[in-house]
Chain A
């Protein structure tokens, strides 16, 4: 069974840091691109960051650029999001989401499937 399990969320003060993890199982992690998506309380979905299967290509939303760092360890089947200089507006549930088809499936659909259950991050003093 394909599974993504996030961890590392919690309460942090403005200006603080937090590192989220996403443990993957049930598939060949090194073959899949990954993303982080967040959802503020009562709000919609916001894409945060993307990383290619090898980690060589990375993108960020403008709202987090320069503050957040995405990374992965294919040997540990894990995805990470290092969040620095946190602001109140970063308060959200953070989801990791796999791209639906492996990187070598050039013609296959490339959507977010599946998603983890999410880990909540609250930035407040």
Chain B
């Protein structure tokens, strides 16, 4: 089973700042990695797929990169609606699909 480790667990930033979130895989997942955004009381939403492709409905301030075992999600200038929990997920070697434990992006 591939283990995904996200860091940091919590990131405290102010609106307008840049956020950088990390996801590391226990073995290579190629580009088979996605990022999801989850706001309180809501279901997760697909944000990034295949490591670097932004899903429909998300603005260009969201970007992602990486391949193999190290991946990064960046938000260039935080808006109030961006504060949420972000999860990475792999589908390189499934079942099982696995998720990271999440990074909570909170307002400082």
Interface size range of chain A in the complex = 20 to 34
Which residue of A44, A46, A61, A115 contacts B45 across the interface (Cβ within 8 Å)? A115
Task: Give the docked Cα–Cα distance between A60 and B50 (Å).
Answer: 23
Among B59-67, B73-81, B99-107, the stretch that binds chain A is: B99-107
| Chain A 74-115 interface mask (CB, 8 Å, partner B; 1/0) | 000000000000000000000100001000000001111111
Shortest distance between the CB of B11 and any CB in chain A (Å):
16
Mark out the residues of chain A between 3 and 60 whose CB falls within 8 Å of any chain B CB in the assembled complex: 35, 44-47, 50, 59-60
Which residue of A46, A95, A114, A116 contacts B99 across the interface (Cβ within 8 Å)? A46
Chain A residues positioned under 8 Å from B97 (CB to CB): 35, 47, 50
Q: Judge whether A44 and B43 touch: CB under 8 Å.
A: no
Shortest distance between the CB of B46 and any CB in chain A (Å):
4
Shortest distance between the CB of A41 and any CB in chain B (Å):
12
Tell whether B98 is near chain A: CB-to-CB under 8 Å: yes
Task: Give the docked Cα–Cα distance between A60 and B96 (Å).
Answer: 8
Are A44 and B95 CB-contacts (below 8 A) given A112-B46, A115-B44? no
Q: Judge whether B43 and A47 touch: CB under 8 Å.
A: no
Are A111 and B101 CB-contacts (below 8 A) given A45-B44, A47-B96, A116-B43? no
Chain A residues positioned under 8 Å from B12 (CB to CB): none
Chain A residues positioned under 8 Å from B100 (CB to CB): 44
Q: Judge whether A111 and B43 touch: CB under 8 Å.
A: no
Are A118 and B43 CB-contacts (below 8 A) given A45-B99, A46-B99, A47-B97? yes
Closest to B99 in A: A45
Q: Judge whether A47 and B46 touch: CB under 8 Å.
A: no
- By a beta-carbon cutoff of 8 Å, the part of chain A in contact with chain B is 35, 44-47, 50, 59-62, 95, 100, 109-118
A and B contact pairs by CB, cutoff 8 A, 13 listed = A44-B99, A45-B87, A50-B94, A50-B95, A109-B53, A111-B34, A111-B89, A111-B91, A112-B44, A112-B46, A113-B49, A115-B45, A118-B43
> Known contacts A45-B44, A109-B50; can you find 12 more A-B pairs with CB under 8 A?
A45-B36, A47-B95, A50-B94, A50-B95, A50-B97, A61-B95, A111-B89, A111-B91, A113-B46, A113-B49, A114-B46, A116-B43
